[in-house]
Amino acid sequence: MQTAFAKYLGVLAAGSALAFSAPAFAQTTSEDAAGHDHSGEHAHDHDHDHAHDEDVHSGYFDDDQIEARSLADWEGDWQSVYPLLQEGTLDAVMAHKADHGDMTEDEYKAYYEIGYETDVERITIDGNTVTFYSDGVPLQGRYEDDGYEVLTYEKGNRGVRYIFEKSEGDADAPAFIQFSDHAIAPEDAGHYHLYWGDDRATLLEEVTNWPTYYPAEMSGDEVAEEMLAH
């Protein structure tokens, strides 16, 4: 069941904190696996490594393959894809999914409407500082590594949530943020799903909403093309 993702951020009064509520979150889907750079490899190694990476990004890996990661993997300026879904920019992506999946285009759009929903349209990550923007209003926290958790999904595949805990910052900034980008070792993220809230354990159990972020420099059409490529 969908729960309310987030109450709106707003300026309460001069000098007061921004209001920020915890969203409902979910395990990630394997449909949005990030791309890989295999340039310079021999053909055989390319095919072998590509298959290996696809297995990992689809959630099939051994525990000993998992490595710690830092916030540097997600550093940058990121845009939510939720507005792109709402304005129709991702309609071709939904149609493509319908052509190759087991739901109609409208059903996929409804599914991603729940999955992508957020009022945080932009996130910037610089060092260990994470800034959330809702209607252009910033809310900021500094976050430290809090390890990772391995989740097993219903169909048998798995995912790794990389977790960071707030060490300082705005009072209403979430206590925990959890990243999933289908990778299990250090690499620069092409996109990611971000989960946040104030209860670490409860956050891991959420299963309906997975706000998704792509580089802010990408146009809507470029985001759609990237999704279609994967």
- Domain edges within the chain: 43-61+68-228
Structure tokens at 147: 């390890």
pTM of the model: 0.79
Distance CA 59, CA 30 (A): 7
pLDDT < 50 regions, the chain: 1-50
Quote the pLDDT of residue 164.
98
Assigned token pair, 216: 């802010």
Q: What is the CATH number of domain 43-61+68-228?
A: 2.40.128.20
What distance lies between CA 183 and its chain's CA centroid? 11
- What is the per-residue pLDDT for 124? 98
Per-position DSSP letters for the chain, written without gaps between them: ------PPP-B-STTPPBP--PPP--PPPSTTPPP---TT--HHHHHHHHHHHHHHHTT---GGG-----GGGG-EEEEESHHHHHTTTTHHHHHHHHHHSSS-HHHHHHHHHHHH--S--EEEEETTEEEEEETTEEEEEEEEEEEEEEEE-TTS-EEEEEEEEEEEE-TTS-SEEEEE-S-SSS---SSEEEEEES-HHHHHH--S---EEEETTS-HHHHHHHHHT-
pLDDT for the residue numbered 157: 93
One-letter amino acid for residue 114 of the chain: I
What pLDDT does 115 receive?
96
- Residue 26: the pLDDT is 38
Q: What is the pLDDT of residue 206?
A: 80
Q: Is the dihedral of CA 175, 116, 7, 138 positive or negative?
A: positive
